[in-house]
Copies of this chain bind each other. A is one copy, B any other.
Amino acid sequence: MTKREREQLLELATRRKTSRIFLKTPINLNDVYYCLKVAIQAPSGANKQPWRFLLIDEPAEKDKIRSACEQQEKRFHEKVKRNLKRWFTAKGIDYKKPFLSEAPFLLAVFSDQRMPYATESTWLSIGYLLLALEEKSISSLTYTPSYAQEVKKVFEAPKEYKLEAILPIGLSNDRKPKEKRRPLKHSLYRNSWGAH
């Protein structure tokens, strides 16, 4: 293998950025399946594969989900503390979630809380998923609804399943550049805490 082929992941991971604005343009369902096939190859606690993916493309269903989310986000934004409110304002984030009706697909991700490390394993698989989406030039947002257990009711999922995230997926119309990452040395220590 050439060096170029062996360092594609850094290119993919660096290029992948969060999108909050989506084109309504449809995307290929088989590409979405491809990405989910990647996701379910992730390891999980005792290999229990606790993730469940609910893929939604019916417009009426998406509208219901958006409305359930916005109802809870309104509650959240009314209560939010001043510092966080300032951050939201700077980012242009409020209770409205148009991406939930505009993106061609929503992917609601659940974890079976009866399984060991269900949440951890499911988020690890979301990591796999995001890189596969990027490989297919599909954009996404790992939206974590406020009061997720209230929002969950709209899906009529069994009580053992926790709603972890709702990912709008599709083609991006978000011109914002990727949020900056700190240099590696900020997050990495050698042999003892705080040492470099």
Residues of chain A at the chain B interface (Cβ within 8 Å): 5-10, 12-14, 16, 18, 33-34, 36-43, 45-47, 49, 51-58, 61, 87, 117, 119-121, 123-128, 130-132, 135-136, 142, 144, 155-158, 164-165, 179-182, 184, 186-193
A53 to B195 alpha-carbon distance, docked (Å): 11
**A37 touches which one: B5, B131, B132, B184 (CB < 8 A)?**
B184
A33 to B9 alpha-carbon distance, docked (Å): 13
**A45/B144 in contact, CB under 8 A:** yes
Distance in angstroms from A6 CB to nearest chain B CB is 6
**B42/A187 in contact, CB under 8 A:** no
Distance in angstroms from A2 CB to nearest chain B CB is 12
**B164/A120 in contact, CB under 8 A:** yes
**A187 touches which one: B43, B46, B49, B123 (CB < 8 A)?**
B49
**B126/A8 in contact, CB under 8 A:** no
**A119/B119 in contact, CB under 8 A:** yes
A8 to B117 alpha-carbon distance, docked (Å): 28
- Interchain residue pairs with CB less than 8 A apart (11): A7-B135, A36-B188, A49-B181, A54-B189, A54-B190, A56-B191, A58-B191, A117-B144, A120-B123, A123-B123, A124-B142
Q: 10 closest pairs, A vs B, by CB?
A: A127-B127, A13-B41, A123-B123, A124-B127, A47-B179, A13-B38, A9-B132, A120-B123, A54-B189, A123-B124
